[in-house]
Structure 1
Amino acid sequence: MTQAVTAQNYKLNWILLLALLTSIAPLSTDMYLPALPDMAKEFSVTTLLVSSSLPAYFLGLAIGQLIYGPISDRIGRKIPLIFGLSLHITASLLCIYADDLQTLLIVRVLQALGSCVGLVLARAAIRDVLDTSSAAKAFASMMIVMGVAPVIAPTLGAWVLLFFHWHAIFIVLALLGVVSLLGVIFAFTETLPVERRLKLSFRHVFQLYFKIFRDLSYCFPMLAGCFSFGVLFCYINAATTVLMDSYHLSEQQFAYAFGLNAVGTMFLSAMNHKLEHKFSVLQRLSIGGFVQITGVCLLLIAALLPQMGLPLVLIGLFLAVAGIGLTAPNSTALAMSKQGRQAGSASALMGGFQFLFGLLSGILLNFLPWTALFNLSMAMLLFVLCANVSIFAAKRFFSIQPVA
């Protein structure tokens, strides 16, 4: 497999497998969003409170990636994938038996510790075998396929709720884990040769993370991508409250609105290929940041002027989320461009920061004192401003140190 994908024209089926592995986490995040009001009633809590299972899930994603990254740099990519997917399957089944919010929070963290393995090791596998330019294409291709996950996840969840109890959503997630596990066992060939593996002790892991973070060629684009993802996590954390509680969308209407925003991510991910010959990786990253900040400004206008109604809210959300189609693949390619043998740890650190911001976005939204929409707008504004500052810093740095 390594020989097959080292070429500029990587195999599409390889990207599809990596995209499937990466999609497990967003599917596990989004599929049960339409069920939050039903779960809140069953647990006798508010929808906002049961939404705290999202930050708990993000916590598991952040911690898990920091563990899998250095382990995969030491023993390879395939064994951690098998372990993580097995944990995801087990925890998804345990979610079925959660009869109170506390139990749900615990098993959701376990589920996240399993499902995050695909996020970190897909990025590492691409860096194992592709250069910066090819990696940007591969990440964009993967983003297109991954875009299907948030499109179908709430819709699939809503359809399941039409016929079954919310427990059935976690059965579907467990089955997805089984399919992914079989794909890894039979179709994934190890991408990290033995001679390139690192001999890491527990102490060396922290030293390695510190060394990677101090590398400005990694730090600036990594933070740009993570802050950009923070906008998405604000949306995921607050979407149910804003669209279903404030604007009274039904479960199916919410699913379609949620999916429409994900279509924007897919579209700009596809445009990343088209823009390749006109704009550099850094320029495409900047365009994505501009699209996001435009959407957040529209959303803030909608929050300040409620008479503008739902259409402006949906347009603002569409642009704020769609911009990730450009910021995610290009920031990732830049950050990973010089990481070489430590790609697993670098990927893990990036993923850990991404979902740490997801956790912070949930905490921030719970503490802001205004309406749900204004809280969402202000939280998004904070993240998107930080993202664009990081993009500017990356442009300044790479103007001195050319991209590999």
Structure 2
Amino acid sequence: MTLRILLILGALSAFGPMAVDFYLPSFPTLANVFGTDVEQVQLSLSVYFAGLAIGQLLYGPLADRFGRRVPLLVGVSIFTVASLACAFAPSLHWLVAARFVQALGGCAGMVVSRAVVRDLCDPVAAARAFSQLMLVMGLAPILAPLAGGVLLEISGWQSIFYCLTLFSAVAGLAIALWLPETIPAGPRPPLRGALGQYLRLFRDRSFLCYALTGGVAIAGMFAYIAGSPFVLIQLYGVPPEHYGWVFGSNAAGFVLMGQVNSRLLRYRGPGFWLRRAVWLYLACAVALLAVSLSRPAELWPLLLPLFGCIASLGFLMPNSAACALAKQGRHAGSASALMGSLQFSVAAGASAMVGVLHDGTALPMAMVIALCGVTATLFGWFTGQIAERTV
């Protein structure tokens, strides 16, 4: 895989983090502008996750039938137009609707980038490629909240969505000029068989367990994304323009562990490391819950286990994706779509649960993350029972 393709795939994978992390510092501002509270603004985040879950199911069969490029260009175009609509939102309802459409476009890059990696790589090489992609896409959660906080301070919340419009337009141009078609030559599955393909994947217990091991852990990260603006900015008084530094430090741990994972894959397969990383995630999640129950007066006791939770995803995300897609062959697009849809369905529920449980403390965020840690560990244990020890 060439560096150019890797960079394009990294940008496509960054659509999700960019569209989420960029506007997080603006939550309190949006609440004031639209005359509501932060919990209502969080609805725009949950709706975005729901759009990602639904949209990915559409792009998977399209990517298997028509190739990787055409669905990508359509999705990026939708994202560009919807981002501009967000910037002109006159009400919270408009913003929520535009965010849903934005998600329907943005998920094309997430589905197809995973399928392209599967087209070009064997399972171990795919896990390494996913780890390398995290180095590229990891810049998004590090830089996006920082840039979002600065733009919010200088130009207002609309400028955040103007930047997303520009980012997606440039990504679309790069796809059109430099991303080749990677789907293997030969007959392609018809669209009418898409439902049957999804049913086959639902019956594949190995695929489901690998997908959900990573997916439930990722849901914990999105609970953190949904809850952190309140916890950091309002509860502990972190200025919006400094919020990105805290958020970025956790993202840096995530990127670093992704690179460690890439090195460790020289010695054992992704399945081996996946089943061990879930225990690290669980330990950090339980520690976070224990600290939250004590309601510390300072922020740093919360940040330590939170850093461990996010950093452990550097092992969980690439290895779960590589294991889930390893045996899917020509149906990698549909498998990638279903995996992403399952993951973001859980993420939408987790982020919504943080808002529903809101009690003015960090406890709701910690409770949801701990629940995700327990569930991910159970799925990780099941993978060891029903799948090969290495993939």
State if a TM-score over 0.5 links the two structures.
yes
Change (3 A) 1:32 1:129: same
Per-residue deviation, residues 100-146 of structure 1 (Å, max 9, x unmatched): 11111000001111111110000011111211111111111111211
The equivalent of 2:315 in structure 1 is 326
Whole-Å Cα distance in 2 between the matches of residues 260 and 36 of structure 1?
20
The equivalent of 1:7 in structure 2 is none
Change (3 A) 1:51 1:384: same
Whole-Å Cα distance in 2 between the matches of residues 381 and 402 of structure 1?
26
SS of alignment partner, residue 306 of structure 1: coil
Cα shift at 1:224: 0.4
Correspondences of 1:148-187 after superposition (within 5 Å): 148-187=139-178
The equivalent of 2:71 in structure 1 is 80
The equivalent of 1:102 in structure 2 is 93
Cα shift at 1:14: 1.6
Identity %: 35
Cα shift at 1:402: 5.5
Structure 2: segments with no counterpart, 5+ residues: none
The equivalent of 1:92 in structure 2 is 83
Per-residue deviation, residues 257-307 of structure 1 (Å, max 9, x unmatched): 011110010010010122123433122113321222222122112211123
Whole-Å Cα distance in 2 between the matches of residues 173 and 277 of structure 1?
37
Change (3 A) 1:196 1:152: farther
The equivalent of 2:384 in structure 1 is 395
Does structure 1 residue 348 correspond to structure 2 residue 328?
no
Cα shift at 1:317: 1.2
One of 97, 122, 137 as aligned partner of 1:146: 137
The equivalent of 1:131 in structure 2 is 122
Does structure 1 residue 207 correspond to structure 2 residue 191?
no
Question: 2:60 is aligned with what amino acid?
Answer: G
The equivalent of 1:368 in structure 2 is 357
SS of alignment partner, residue 309 of structure 1: coil
Tell me if the contact between 2:124 and 2:265 (Cα under 8 Å) persists in the aligned partners: no
Whole-Å Cα distance in 1 between the matches of residues 361 and 113 of structure 2?
35
Whole-Å Cα distance in 1 between the matches of residues 297 and 310 of structure 2?
20
Question: 2:59 is aligned with what amino acid?
Answer: Y
Change (3 A) 1:392 1:312: same
Whole-Å Cα distance in 1 between the matches of residues 267 and 361 of structure 2?
40
Does structure 1 residue 224 correspond to structure 2 residue 213?
yes
Normalising by structure 2, we get a TM-score of: 0.97
Normalising by structure 1, we get a TM-score of: 0.94
Whole-Å Cα distance in 2 between the matches of residues 264 and 21 of structure 1?
21
SS of alignment partner, residue 249 of structure 1: coil
Tell me if the contact between 2:24 and 2:229 (Cα under 8 Å) persists in the aligned partners: yes
The equivalent of 1:3 in structure 2 is none
Change (3 A) 1:196 1:124: farther
Per-residue deviation, residues 22-46 of structure 1 (Å, max 9, x unmatched): 1012101110111111111010000
Question: 1:217 is aligned with what amino acid?
Answer: S
Whole-Å Cα distance in 2 between the matches of residues 395 and 387 of structure 1?
13
SS of alignment partner, residue 191 of structure 2: coil
The equivalent of 2:263 in structure 1 is 274
Whole-Å Cα distance in 2 between the matches of residues 245 and 58 of structure 1?
24
Cα shift at 1:319: 0.8
Whole-Å Cα distance in 2 between the matches of residues 307 and 123 of structure 1?
41
The equivalent of 1:242 in structure 2 is 231
Per-residue deviation, residues 58-93 of structure 1 (Å, max 9, x unmatched): 111111111000111111110000000000110001
Whole-Å Cα distance in 2 between the matches of residues 283 and 194 of structure 1?
32
Q: Which moved more, 1:88-97 or 1:305-314?
A: 305-314
Change (3 A) 1:272 1:196: farther
Question: 2:173 is aligned with what amino acid?
Answer: L
Question: 2:99 is aligned with what amino acid?
Answer: R
Change (3 A) 1:308 1:46: closer
Question: 1:190 is aligned with what amino acid?
Answer: E
Whole-Å Cα distance in 2 between the matches of residues 117 and 402 of structure 1?
32
Cα shift at 1:57: 0.6
Does structure 1 residue 44 correspond to structure 2 residue 35?
yes
Tell me if the contact between 1:212 and 1:346 (Cα under 8 Å) persists in the aligned partners: yes
The equivalent of 1:4 in structure 2 is none
Per-residue deviation, residues 332-376 of structure 1 (Å, max 9, x unmatched): 000000000110000000111111112101221222264431111
Tell me if the contact between 1:302 and 1:308 (Cα under 8 Å) persists in the aligned partners: no
The equivalent of 2:24 in structure 1 is 33
The equivalent of 2:252 in structure 1 is 263
Whole-Å Cα distance in 2 between the matches of residues 385 and 48 of structure 1?
26
Cα shift at 1:159: 1.2
Tell me if the contact between 1:302 and 1:309 (Cα under 8 Å) persists in the aligned partners: no
Does structure 1 residue 311 correspond to structure 2 residue 324?
no
The equivalent of 2:104 in structure 1 is 113
Tell me if the contact between 2:235 and 2:360 (Cα under 8 Å) persists in the aligned partners: no
Whole-Å Cα distance in 2 between the matches of residues 317 and 357 of structure 1?
19
Question: 2:243 is aligned with what amino acid?
Answer: F
Does structure 1 residue 64 correspond to structure 2 residue 58?
no
Question: 1:125 is aligned with what amino acid?
Answer: V
Whole-Å Cα distance in 2 between the matches of residues 213 and 61 of structure 1?
19
Question: 2:137 is aligned with what amino acid?
Answer: M
